[in-house]
Amino acid sequence: MNEIDNDEAATGCGSTPNALTAASFKSSYKPIWCPGCGDYTVLSSVTKALATMGVAPKDCAVVSGIGCSSRIPAYTTCYGFHGVHGRSLAAATGLKVARPDLQVLVAGGDGDGYSIGGNHFLHACRRNVDMTYLVMDNHVYGMTKGQPSPTTEPDWDSKLSPGGTGLRVFHPLVVALASGANFVARAFAGDLNGTAAIIAQAMKHPGFSFVEILSPCVTFRPEQREWRKLVRPAAVEPTDDAARAARRLMTDDGFNIGVLFAGDRAPYPASMRQPRSTVADLESEFAL
């Protein structure tokens, strides 16, 4: 199920000549990712989901930080912003608040989002700006060749932390929920269509939508090839009750796939666009 699927019917996109397809969103630039990397399929899921939104590439912005998965903006035909490590949510927040007309998608990895960018993750959830955040979680820093991230198991051995970090694993979905994210979901990179559908739902949902995508790193975490066997559709319907969602998330094993919470909190207000005063009016307070 991880081959590229161009069946537009699967995501409900029409087939008129002007219709946007996944291909409309895919750039000709060749990814730097390793063969077999989960991020390839996430890219396909993203382009497929964008095609279902009916928003032209010129009206979409893909914002990222630093890391393997953060290379994704240039692989789309959208406006892209490849900023500094850990600050994608801040850059995207500025962009979306200043330009509420744009469809803003933020993407990155677990190190970028949960470690160096952890504070922005909390506050992006609280702020609830209408944008979607995709984290391609592979429980490792891949670009720097294999160091433990906040989602790495405590006993995972590495050169930087021999014998493991001994640290408790970070639980991004629970943190997102507790911090106020309005949409919380988990997806698996191996399921192109399923992930595309979840991303599309996330983009359509008002406010800050968070999608954690299990995306195997076949180079530094080859054992993650087994994720394919472990993932399963969540046996529950999405809830708008944060307390229920929290109980589910606190007890799940990290392999339940689907939309786990869809809240109804009002998004951060869009930027005021209608001036009430001229610049010259502002001078009056200084005049003697």
Partner 1 sequence: MQTHIAAPTSVSIALAGSGGSGVMTAGTVLLAAAAKAGAYGLMVRTSGPQIRGGEAAALLRLGPQAMSSLDDGFDLLLAIDWQNVNRFADEIVLGPRSVLIGDPDEGEAPEVFKATGARYAPLSMKKMAKAIPGAWVNMIALGLSGTLAGLPLQALQDAVRESWKKPDTLEANLKAVAAGAEAAADIAANLASNGGAMARLQATALSAQPRWMISGNEAAGFGAIRGGIRFCAAYPITPATEVLEWLAPKLVEVGGTLLQAEDELASINMIVGASYGGVPSITATAGPGLSLMTEAIGLAVASEVPIVIVDVMRGGPSTGIPAKSEQSDLSFAVSGLHGDAPRLVVAPTSIGDCLGATQWAVHLAEALQAPAIVLSDQFMGQSRAIIDKPVDAGYRAQRLTAEANTPDYKRYRNTPSGISPMAIPGTEGVTYTADGLEHSEAGIPSSQSRDHVLQLDKRQRKLDLFDYGPYWADLEGTGDAVVITFGSTTSAVREAIARAKAQGVDLRLVAMRLLAPTRPEQMAAAVQGARRIIVVEQNHGAQLFRYLRAWYDFPVSPQSHHRPGPLPLRPGELLTALLDWRNAK
Q: What would the two tokens of residue 207 be? A: 């406010």
Looking at residues 65 to 84 of the shown chain, list those that interact with partner 1 (rule: CB under 8 A): 71, 73-74, 77-84
* Residue 116 to residue 158: CA distance in whole angstroms: 19
Residue whose CB is less far from partner 1, 127 or 248: 127
Q: Which of residues 19, 29, 36, 232 is near partner 1 by CB under 8 A?
A: 29
Looking at residues 258 to 277 of the shown chain, list those that interact with partner 1 (rule: CB under 8 A): 271-277
- How far from each other are the two terminal CA atoms of the chain, in whole angstroms? 73
Angle, helices 118-127 vs 88-98, to 10°: value is 30
CB of 85 to partner 1, least distance (A): 8
* Residue 160 to residue 35: CA distance in whole angstroms: 25
Contact letters (x/-) for partner 1, 122-161, by CB under 8 A?
A: xx--------------------------------------
Cα dist from 282 to 13, 160, 272, 274, 277, whole Å: 49, 56, 17, 16, 7
* Residue 113 to residue 88: CA distance in whole angstroms: 8
Angle at 265 between CA 231 and CA 13, to 5 degrees: 55
Residue whose CB is less far from partner 1, 235 or 287: 287
CB of 5 to partner 1, least distance (A): 25
Interface with partner 1, residue 43, by CB under 8 A = no
Interface with partner 1, residue 20, by CB under 8 A = no
Kindly tell me the burial class for residue 265, based on how many C-beta atoms sit within 10 Å of its own C-beta (0-12, 13-18, 19 or more).
Answer: middle
Interface with partner 1, residue 190, by CB under 8 A = no
Q: How many residues bind partner 1, per CB under 8 A?
A: 51
Angle, helices 38-53 vs 192-204, to 10°: value is 50
Interface with partner 1, residue 46, by CB under 8 A = no
Q: Which of residues 4, 34, 97, 234 is near partner 1 by CB under 8 A?
A: 97
Interface with partner 1, residue 119, by CB under 8 A = yes
Residues found near partner 1 in the complex (CB under 8 A): 29, 56-59, 61-63, 71, 73-74, 77-84, 86-87, 90-95, 97-99, 101-102, 119-120, 122-123, 271-279, 281-283, 286-288
